[in-house]
Amino acid sequence: MRHLRKLLRTALFTLMLILFMAEPAFTYAAGNECRLAGQDRYATAAAIAREGWTQSDYALLVSGENFPDALVAAPLAKQYGAPILLSQKKCLPEVTKQTLNDLKIKNVILIGGQGVLSAQLQDELQDMEIRSSRLAGEDRYETAIVVADQLTDISEVVIATGEDFADALSISSIAAAKHMPVILVPKNNIGSATQTFIRKNKIRKTYVVGSPDLISDRVAEQFAKPERVTGATKYDRNINIIKRFQAGISEDNVFLATGNNYADALAGAGYAAKINAPIVLVSGNMSRSTKSYLSSNLSDKNVYILGGEGAVSASIFHTAGSRGDQSNSRRETTTDLLRELGSNEAKYALVFGSTDNKMYQSAAEAQENMVEIRVDVWQINTEGEKSPAKCTLTVNKAIADMISSVFEEIFEGGEKFPIYSAEGYVWRGDDTSEHNWGLAVDLNPNENAMINSSGEVVAGSFWDPQKSPYSIPEDGDVVKAFQKYGFAWGGNAWKSSNDYMHFSYLGK
């Protein structure tokens, strides 16, 4: 038995090294599947550009670190026949430079102000003998209008929330193919630049992505003939968008990208627009509508998978698609293996690279391994009603997709459990708290107290699911979702104390 466990751990660790070891950009094809990925988002964008173009006079450059300005790039990329590449704020990644040279780019259009793409980038481009220009406004909403003003002969527009990336990306390639600008709007009002755009353009049709909870009727009705495309979650809206425009998009091609991050779908939107294809957003917890669409539509299409296994795993792809003789096969992901082994040693290796490596020794070291994620949650408004909202937390990069999937399951659960506070990474300086490593999440701390072995409340106020909607039920959606992905709940994980707000990956 010990020998078997050792073999399993060795096999798992080898698999993790393969998955997480840095690689150059690559294109993987099997049958009519083509994976476009690199060692990071910049290399993935480069791989997409190289697949879609052999030469181009123009390229669009957008931030790989900040999504709002970048969301509106696809229609302009379509107009210029240009790939979309990503950059860091202060310097061009080497893979981006190489791609600009290899595709013989002569002109680069930067989307966004110097707060996301610094003036130094234009100096670098000049040194490469590439001309550059910049499209930017005072904020994300004005930038969207500045980009929209570059499009010619506009008769239809898309409006999407500027508070999150998923809806704008869901419709980006379709909007580009139909020559529609994507205009970002707040929920309840629009600025003067947007009002001016409406007045000076002869818009005859507007597609509104999302319900009044995301974009109010007050905003939608300021645009010509608004038609809403809605859905309970971002994945449902994504599929409903594709179905709404099915008649006008390619029957031969489809793109898959993670719905947990914007970068891969954004870079892929330019290529998808070029070949008139939709982008399907996927996650570890596949929605029913997404599964249904993929099961019905993948078998006869060329499928472009954007990003590596960490973004869109092979198991997600094959399970959702049930394609041909693969319908009964099961490809296990690293997460599956970790969950089945139940080994903290294996989890440790996943996060820190090796069981021999020490945990982060300083806040600076820890922060290099963290990423900020935005998740959908339910909150209780002033009328006592539950309504959708957004929550931002910082977690370890190694488990960011898992935590995103946990929150998706909570959000889509029947309880609609309300979350007003979610805290992940916090450097506390000791060697016991998983918050130091971005491996723990605390929810609604006041109503989910920490109680020591003497029965004293040492953090928070109380825990009582019968009296407070914010207290976490022991057998409810929240605990089930976290435990499904291998997290322990402090409410029942230890014999001597209870920490009802606390979920941890290593069980501390």
Note the maximum CA span of the chain: 75
Q: How many CA atoms lie within 13 A of 424 on its CB side?
A: 25
Both 191 and 64 in one domain: the answer is yes
Query: Which string of DSSP letters, residue by residue, matches 324-378?
Result: GGGTT-----HHHHHHHHT-HHHHHHHHHSSTTSPPP-SHHHHHTTEEEEEEEEE
CA 197 to chain centre: 30
Both 70 and 146 in one domain: the answer is yes
Which of 248, 210, 206 is closest to 227 using CA atoms?
Answer: 206
The pTM of this model reads: 0.63
Into how many domains does the chain fold? 3
CATH of the domain at 460: 3.30.1380
Task: Map tokens 């049930």 to a residue.
Answer: 322
* Position 354 confidence tier, pLDDT thresholds 50, 70, 90: low
Cross-strand partners of 85? 61
308, 326, 344 - which closes a domain: 326
Per-residue pLDDT of 406-449, as tens digits, reads 999 999 888 999 999 999 998 877 666 888 888 999 999 889 99
Residue 13 has pLDDT above 60, yes or no: no
Query: What mean pLDDT is predicted for residues 259-268?
Result: 88
Per-residue pLDDT of 65-120, as tens digits, reads 888 888 899 999 999 999 999 999 999 999 999 999 999 999 999 999 999 999 99
Both 107 and 41 in one domain: the answer is yes
Dist. CA 234–CA 171, nearest whole Å: 11
Predicted pLDDT at 97: 97
Contact (CB, 8 A) for 264 and 307? yes
Residue 333 has pLDDT above 60, yes or no: no
Both 21 and 36 in one domain: the answer is no
Residue 10 has pLDDT above 60, yes or no: no
What share of the chain in percent tops pLDDT 90? 54
Both 336 and 447 in one domain: the answer is no
Per-residue pLDDT of 145-185, as tens digits, reads 999 999 998 999 999 999 888 999 999 999 999 999 999 99
Both 146 and 224 in one domain: the answer is yes
Both 217 and 276 in one domain: the answer is yes
Per-residue pLDDT of 182-224, as tens digits, reads 999 999 999 999 999 999 998 999 999 999 989 999 999 999 9
CB burial of residue 473 (10 Å; 0-12, 13-18, 19+): middle
Both 88 and 116 in one domain: the answer is yes
Q: Which domain holds residue 53?
A: 31-326
Residue 40 has pLDDT above 80, yes or no: yes
Contact (CB, 8 A) for 37 and 26? yes
For 320, the token pair is 């959702």
Residue 135 has pLDDT above 80, yes or no: yes
Dist. CA 309–CA 377, nearest whole Å: 26
Both 17 and 71 in one domain: the answer is no
Dist. CA 275–CA 272, nearest whole Å: 5
Q: DSSP 3-state helix, strand, coil percentages of the chain (rounded to 5)?
A: 40, 20, 40
Both 109 and 201 in one domain: the answer is yes
Contact (CB, 8 A) for 257 and 282? yes
Both 243 and 380 in one domain: the answer is no
Cross-strand partners of 229? 209
Both 376 and 390 in one domain: the answer is yes
